Amino acid sequence: MTTLRIYDYRDGVLALDLSDLIDLLAPRSLEASWRVSPVRINHPDLGRFYDEFMRTGAVQPGQDALEVLAANGLSVSGVTLSEAAHAAWQVIWGQFVATLPEQNDTWVNIRAIDSTFYEVTSSDEAVLGAIWSAYKDVRVAPGPVTSAPIERV
């Protein structure tokens, strides 16, 4: 599995969001089953782990589809995830893990990290190639972020 970090910025803010990645990886992303969850980060200075899921949008907290999906941990279709991602304004923290119908292993793992970058972990060369082709500031990471402060690659 290779982990890529996407740092593309426009006017000082991250120039992509979850919906962009779901769209980029379609049609397979729409055929996949997805699990939405918080990102688990170790904060050594505080001596604890914490789970973080955060998004911005026009609805009240707890009523957002992505928040509901993250809270219940159920598997959803790619179409359902795409609709929820398009309804959110920005995903700040979150993990989105996909499996394809013909596979048992993870196809792609997308992680939003503090509105600083997105991580995409996959062994699918088509996924990795699409990321490299679509974005300008893509970096290979040693693996997913696991602790804060967040290391830069």
Distance CA 121, CA 110 (A): 7
pLDDT one-digit tens code per residue, 25-67? 999 999 999 999 998 887 777 777 877 777 776 555 556 788 8
Q: What is the mean pLDDT of residues 75-86?
A: 93
To the nearest 10°, report the CA torsion of 66, 100, 97, 151: -130
114 contacts: CB under 8 Å, gap ≥ 6: 92, 93, 150
Instruction: Name the pTM for this structure.
Output: 0.89
The string of pLDDT tens digits covering residues 83-117 is 999 988 888 889 999 999 988 899 999 999 988 99
pLDDT, position 24: 98
Spell out the domain ranges in the chain.
2-141
What is residue 153's predicted lDDT score, i.e. its pLDDT?
Answer: 58
